[in-house]
């Protein structure tokens, strides 16, 4: 019985995800689902990307957290429209929440919405939220075995950014292992080595994201 209920929730989420996609397409808005562990650098990376993309695109942010609004306050201080989604302890965001939150934005005056998903390598990967594409972050201190141990997130993401690359030497992190295991389960995945702290690799990541945004907007 429990499995059947879960199955229905998943199917329902897929329907709502499709509806979110259609609504975003009707307004020419690209939604980017940013995933990764707590502390992987999701907020830091979103801020770095906003900095590099805001002259070209009108950007909004949805901040998912299980409590508080620390990240939303940080984004708000940049003068970017932001909505905090408090999941009340739930470990992921569902499409229905995005559908409701879209009403808080002036979609006619936006090109891009970043969604910072809940810090978690497991649950968020299971739920489509109407995103145009997924960006997964894996930070160096988490270890180079994480793609093998938590494959779904990396199998379903369009890009993987190894963040905190400035710390690589301290952690003996084998980035080739990560690249091999990610390509093994997802041959198309784009892989970037970045540091949101010192800017390494962010121009490449920004260039790829910008092309994906342009493709999405052109298709809608």
Ligand X SMILES: Nc1nc2c(ncn2[C@@H]2O[C@H](COP(=O)(O)OP(=O)(O)OP(=O)(O)O)[C@@H](O)[C@H]2O)c(=O)[nH]1
The residues of the shown chain that bind ligand X, judged by CB under 6 A, are 36, 38-44, 71, 119, 163-164, 166-167, 195-197
Q: Is residue 111 involved in binding Mg ion (CB under 5 A)?
A: no
Q: How far is CA 206 from the centre of its chain?
A: 14
Cβ partners under 8 Å of residue 114, min gap 6: 32, 34, 46, 49, 50, 59, 60, 61, 62
Least distance to ligand X from the beta carbon of 6, Å?
Answer: 25
**Residue 60, contacted partner among ligand X, Mg ion, none, CB below 5-8 A by kind:** none
Q: Is residue 71 involved in binding Mg ion (CB under 5 A)?
A: yes
**Residue 124, contacted partner among Mg ion, ligand X, none, CB below 5-8 A by kind:** none
Give the residue with the Cβ less far from ligand X, 41 or 130.
41
Least distance to Mg ion from the beta carbon of 78, Å?
Answer: 14
List the one residue from 33, 43, 120, 181 that touches Mg ion (CB under 5 A): 43
**Helical residues (DSSP H) of 27-120, grouped into ranges:** 42-53, 70-76, 95-101
Give the residue with the Cβ less far from ligand X, 116 or 131.
116
- Strands 159-163 and 59-65, bridge-based pairing: unpaired
């Amino acid at each position: 019985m429990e499995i059947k209920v879960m199955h229905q929730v998943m199917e329902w989420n897929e329907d709502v995800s499709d509806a979110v996609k259609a609504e975003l397409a009707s307004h020419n808005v690209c939604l980017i689902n940013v995933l990764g562990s707590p502390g992987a650098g999701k907020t830091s990376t979103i801020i770095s990307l906003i900095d590099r993309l805001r002259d070209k695109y009108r950007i909004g942010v949805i901040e998912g957290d299980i409590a508080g609004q620390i990240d939303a306050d940080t984004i708000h201080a940049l003068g970017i429209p932001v909505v905090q989604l408090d999941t009340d302890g739930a470990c992921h965001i569902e499409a229905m929440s995005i559908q409701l939150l879209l009403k808080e934005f002036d979609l006619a005056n936006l090109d891009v919405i970043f969604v910072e998903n809940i810090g978690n390598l497991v649950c968020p990967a299971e739920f489509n939220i109407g995103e145009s594409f997924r960006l997964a972050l894996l930070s160096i201190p988490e270890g180079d075995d994480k793609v093998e141990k938590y494959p779904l997130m990396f199998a379903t993401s369009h890009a993987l950014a190894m963040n905190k690359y400035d710390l690589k030497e301290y952690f003996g992190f084998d980035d080739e292992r990560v690249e091999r295991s990610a390509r093994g389960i997802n041959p198309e995945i784009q892989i970037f080595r970045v540091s949101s702290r010192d800017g390494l690799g962010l121009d490449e990541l920004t260039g790829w994201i910008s092309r994906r945004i342009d493709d999405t907007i052109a298709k809608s």
